Amino acid sequence: MIRFEDVSFAYPDQGSSIRDLSFELERGEFAAVIGANGAGKSTTVRLADGLLRPSSGRVLIDGEDTRNSQVSARARKVGFLFQNPDRQICKNTVREEILFGLRTVRSEEGESALQARAERILAEFSFTGDEEPFALSRGQRQRVALASIFAAEPEVLILDEPTTGLDYRECCHIMDQIRRMNEERQVTVMMVCHDMEVVLDYASKALVMAGGRLLAAGPVREVFRNRELMEKASVLPPQVISLGLRLGDGYETADTPEAMAEAVLAHRKKEGASDE
């Protein structure tokens, strides 16, 4: 669905920031781009949407070179959720906001069809539609932005630190909704995220970046268990996985506190440990 072929990119007044990037995401994959600050993660997702154009190599979305069409023309196919929802929201009510998005990308469907679409998405996100976006909390506003993107039913969803600045509950809310889209509609997701616990919980694939290059791409758990790779990328793996690696002895496979507790209990049983 998303394919990078030897992509390099340099900002005008700086050195090259992305070098020889090649990878492919299949339809329905949920990939996280991870790495330290300055690794080129944000640049990469902007290249994927065509907001930036590669200086060499090419980026294909569903087989189409991003340089052959405008970003805005692709918005129906590719949704982009930014870190700051306030840059996206420009209408006075949530309903108007969602309709605004729909009218720009699906204008051919006629007003009544769009209204019906808007009502459906409002129900799905449990909004009444009359809320004023700027009176909502940051997490709620992020959900408004997400709803307006989902309304267009994109095939690809790109997320740039979607949970930054949100509390835990809001974070789960947003991520659960994204997961549903991914599972139910086979939406391909590409996400930049700093919270490795979130990456572990939601993503299936990880693209590990450092210094503008791709260090590795693979299943999330495999990547996190690769100590050398994590160190090279200056990424701190999720707590339970780190703990498993430290303990060794079969604990490496545990990835949640529950699994780890089970492993500890099983171990105790085998060793015949007594509780006093």
Contact footprint for another protein (CB under 8 A): 36-38, 49, 51, 70-73, 75-76, 78-80, 82, 84, 86-92, 101, 104-105, 134, 137-140, 148-149, 152, 164-170, 194-197, 234-236, 238-240, 242-243, 246-247, 251, 256-258, 260-261, 264-265, 267-268, 271, 273, 275-276
Which residue, 149 or 208, is less far from another protein as judged by CB?
Answer: 149
Shortest spacing between CB 114 and another protein, in angstroms:
13
Strands (E), 139-251: 156-160, 188-192, 205-210, 213-219
Least Cβ distance, residue 149 to another protein (angstroms): 7
Q: Which is nearer to another protein, 20 or 177 (CB)?
A: 177
Instruction: Answer yes or no: are the C-beta atoms of 7 and 20 closer than 8 Å.
Output: yes
Tokens of 77: 């196919």
User: For another protein, which is the closer residue by CB, 116 or 236?
Assistant: 236
Report the nearest approach of another protein to the CB of residue 110 (Å).
17
Q: Is 44 helix (H, G, I), strand (E, B) or coil?
A: helix
CB atoms within 10 A of CB 114: 20
> With 0-12 CB in 10 A as exposed, 13-18 as middle and 19+ as buried, what is 71?
middle
- Nearest CA to 178 among 54, 196, 56, 160? 160
Of residues 123 and 273, the one with the C-beta less far from another protein: 273
Rounded to whole angstroms, the Cα distance separating 29 from 188 reads 5
- Pick the closer one to another protein by CB: 88 or 226: 88
Smallest gap, in angstroms, from Cβ of residue 106 to another protein?
9
Residue type, 268: R
